[in-house]
Amino acid sequence: MKNSSLSSNPEPAHNPYSEIKLSIAKERLRQAHQSFNLAWFTTLLCSMITVGGAGLLLFGTLKEGSITAAAGVISSVGCLKFAKDANDRLDKIPKEWKEES
């Protein structure tokens, strides 16, 4: 079975412009992958901090618990936004290439 995406590519493989575009796409993909991993790890860590803050609230240390829980939630939201931004940049690649064609 032939891969239709390979046969529909009008540019030859030795075209330096297409090699640069491919290099940029690979770098964006690498950054999106690392951003996802960072967001996943940080969200896990922030969730643990939030649970710790909730535990402090349950044991009666209201001030420390509320600060810890709020910091965990805010950090999680920031990391997820960072990963979403990287994913959005990655989604723009096919659109940019279609506009150039």
Q: What is the Cα–Cα distance from 17 to 15, expressed in whole angstroms?
A: 5
pLDDT, tens digit, 9 for 90 and up, residues 39-94: 788 878 877 877 887 887 788 777 777 777 777 777 777 777 877 887 787 777 77
Q: Is residue 20 part of a domain?
A: yes
Residue at 73 is within a domain: yes
pLDDT for the residue numbered 13 = 54
**Does residue 3 form part of some domain?**
no
pTM (2 d.p.): 0.56
Is residue 35 within 8 Å of residue 86, measured between CB atoms?
A: yes
Q: Is the pLDDT of residue 37 over 50?
A: yes
More confident residue, 54 or 3: 54
Residue 4 in domain = no
Spatial neighbors of 56 by CB under 8 A, at least 6 apart, are: 64, 65, 68, 69
In a domain, 76, yes or no: yes
